[in-house]
A and B are shown apart, each in its own frame.
Chain A
Amino acid sequence: MLTIDQATYDAIVAHAKRDHPDEACGIVAGPEGSDRPERFIEMINAAGSPTFYEFDSTDLLQLYKEMDANDEEPVIVYHSHTATEAYPSRTDIGLAMEPNAHYVLVSTREHGNDAGPVEFRSFRIVDGNVTEEEINIVPTLS
């Protein structure tokens, strides 16, 4: 199960809506082994594409050095699908390289940049196996 606070949930949704029709992506870091998504980090989609996302390689190194220095790890890796459902694609599964992370997918296909509900789902992706999990949205992380 993914436990996420409302503000972080809202920030992910806002980022996905803002970048629509391109895919938005980012990370929520937290202390290593804590499973607490505490630090929301929006990343630039270097692919700038409605069908693909990739962190810029320089940004990626910077991010991991920062997390390393803080004893953090990526607790959530999120991205949006802008024309398809919020479910990992074959490419998403093949490229999922963080076995400890919650992979959050948001689909903006319904309302695009406009207000309105989005699909927001969370998955574990380990060795090509996808497992959907429940999401518990809390006012603040306890």
Chain B
Amino acid sequence: MAGLEDLYREIILDHYRNPRNRGELETPPAHMAEGFNPLCGDEVQVFLHVDDDTICDVSISGQGCSISQSSASMMTTAVLGKTVDEARQVIRAFKAMMSIHGDDLDGSDHDPSNETVGSGVSLGDLEALRGVVKFPVRIKCATLAWNTLDQGLSEAAG
């Protein structure tokens, strides 16, 4: 049985209690994208300043549970300073980790998500969110900010 400690790792609670890059950026030059989780009412705004194909600033506002807030906080630290392409790779890697089929459910060493993601993308602290896959209704909490960032990158680039 998956216990609470599998879900609420210490680093997750730390990002929840002390969110990084919290607040709003001036638009323009930044772009704002908004995401909703219709299930629970969580809302997130991702502010994104892309300059010369690089994410030179990113911040988060909105409200949500510990999983959605910590995931958003960790996301900002993971993509800040990255190029748009690099950020998209991180998004893909994270979403692959959050895919139930990509999870190591049978306990074997083989992890198919590695194959779809490709090598070279390290998720670092974000690995702490891997336990969320054991709680399927919470996956949308974890991916809310990421889907919103994805949408924001497309809009900002467009």
A and B bind: no
A residues sitting closer than 8 Å to B (CB atoms) are none
Q: Spell out B's residues near A (CB within 8 Å).
A: none
